[in-house]
Amino acid sequence: MDLALKNNLLENIAISSDATGNIRHQALDTLRSLGLPTSKTEEYKHTAISRLLEKNFQHLGVSTEKSNITVDTFRIQDLDAHVLVFINGVFDQAQSVFSTEELNIQPLAVALAERKELIENYFSKLADTKADAFVALNTTTWNNGLLIEVKNNVQVTKPILIHQINDASKSKVITASRNLILVGKSSEVSIIEKYDSMGEANFSTTVNEVFVAENAGLTYTLIQNDSGQRYQFNHTSIQQESNSRVNCFTLSLNGKAIRNNLQLSLDGEGIDSHMYGLYLLTGDTLADNHTVADHRKPNSISNELYKGVMDGNSKGIFNGKIYVRPQAQKTNAFQSNRNILLSDKATVNTKPQLEIWADDVKCSHGCTSGQLDEEALFYMQSRGIAKDSARAFLLYAYAGEVIEKISNETLRNYIDALVSERLHKNF
């Protein structure tokens, strides 16, 4: 089998000459030398995303197709938030509602042009272009995104909700967005990214670089509920300093192929990190979650729980890495990945990985794959509950363990309803 890809996907990529021009050129060189990942690439072993892209797109440069759809159908009802709307990779000022009283929000390109120190200290410092070809692609082509900056000692009251909507009803859409998020000392902020799409094939890359300073807290929620034709690469690197807290929640429901990289670097002591994920897949959706908890200093805790349900021809992939560096004594790291397969055509590939170089640590991981408990199903059926409903109930309870970790009540209720509807309708 010939694994080599026709590399024309990487041709004709235009590079804008903005403040990060040099970084873009370097990233393109890196990208060309890496090539897009194939099934021989360990990190993409089960994720044939390059093949899928090749089938659907001529090249991977960003598209310029405009759209004037409204965000209304994609809103999270009743959520009091700063709302920022991107449609086909263009910031939609009219539909966005936000205030800059508590924090600084501005287009990243503008911020980088004005403030050199952002490039020197933060931009492209966490997301390694050499480690992943799609990070390199994003670093080369990004044309939208935000700087979100929270000063020291600020508790941002409202969450920040970023809508990334791709409207590919007229032609194929390719977007690349880049966010830089700086959370100051002893501050607190919650960020939600919501991905929706409509129409034909569309592809998006997002790279988030997040710096969480001492004593600060960040909640990061990712909701992927696309129309089924979206190919998506989402990379989030978070660097944590001492005594900071990070809670991540990833919900993947729809889309053609989803690849999420979530990388936490615990670069301080007394850190608390939580990663939660839920993927409920049907049809031929592929969802690939790669997470990293990198313990670099002593006395920190990381905890991870990812749960999945696969039906139809769907494919679930999980890879969780825990690194404990030699200095990171007294680390506590836990990881759990659980999967339910509902169809014989669905598959799951999971690889929980521990790499430990320190001895005084407590690390464990567990993963399971199975199906619903027959006895529980039978019990409910014997009490007059139809099999489909009984199944949905059980799955809902299974998913509940992850959903209940969301602290914002409105958001939790929204996700709860989304999941519940999906389980009753589609499974």
Partner 1 sequence: MAKDNQVLEEITSKEYEHGWTVDLETDSAPKGLSEDIVRFISAKKSEPAWMLEWRLNAFRQWQKMTEPKWPNVTYPEINYQDIIYYSAPKQAAKPKSLDEIDPELLKTFEKLGISLTEQKRLTGVAVDAVIDSVSVATTFKATLAEMGIIFCSFSEAVREHPELIKKYLGSVVPVNDNYFAALNSAVFSDGSFCYIPKGVRCPMELSTYFRINAANTGQFERTLIVADEGSYVSYLEGCTAPQRDENQLHAAVVEIYAMKDSHVKYSTVQNWYPGDKQGKGGIYNFVTKRALCAGDHSKVSWTQVETGSAITWKYPSCILKGDHSSGEFYSVAVTNNMQQADTGTKMIHIGKNTKSRIVSKGISAGKSQNSYRGQVHIMKRAENARNFSQCDSLLMGDQCGAHTFPYIDVENSTARIEHEATTSKIGEDQIFYCQQRGIDEESAVALIVNGYAKEVLNQLPMEFAVEAQKLLALTLEGSVG
Residues binding partner 1 (CB under 8 A): 42, 46, 324, 326, 329, 339, 341-344, 346-371
Give 337's contacts (C-beta < 8 A, 6+ positions apart): 305, 306, 307, 308, 318, 320, 350, 352, 365, 366, 367, 368
Smallest separation (angstroms) from partner 1 to the CB of 201? 27
Q: Which is nearer to partner 1, 37 or 145 (CB)?
A: 37
Q: Which is nearer to partner 1, 2 or 344 (CB)?
A: 344
Smallest separation (angstroms) from partner 1 to the CB of 335? 9
Both tokens assigned to 335: 């990881």
Q: Which is nearer to partner 1, 96 or 329 (CB)?
A: 329
Q: Taking the alpha carbons of 195, 199, 201, 202 in that order, is the dihedral positive or negative?
A: negative
Residues 424 and 298: their CA atoms lie apart, in Å, by 45
Q: Which is nearer to partner 1, 52 or 358 (CB)?
A: 358
Q: Which is nearer to partner 1, 44 or 123 (CB)?
A: 44
Smallest separation (angstroms) from partner 1 to the CB of 418? 24
Residues 285 and 311: their CA atoms lie apart, in Å, by 9
Residue type for 379, please? Y
Please give the backbone phi and psi of residue 182, each rounded to the nearest 5 degrees, phi first: -120, 120
Smallest separation (angstroms) from partner 1 to the CB of 361? 6
Residues 176 and 109: their CA atoms lie apart, in Å, by 13
Q: Which of 102, 198, 90, 215 minimizes the C-alpha distance to 146?
A: 90
Smallest separation (angstroms) from partner 1 to the CB of 120? 34
Smallest separation (angstroms) from partner 1 to the CB of 354? 4
Residues 406 and 268: their CA atoms lie apart, in Å, by 25
Smallest separation (angstroms) from partner 1 to the CB of 388? 16
Q: Which is nearer to partner 1, 56 or 329 (CB)?
A: 329
Q: Which is nearer to partner 1, 338 or 422 (CB)?
A: 338
Smallest separation (angstroms) from partner 1 to the CB of 196? 30
Q: Which is nearer to partner 1, 303 or 349 (CB)?
A: 349
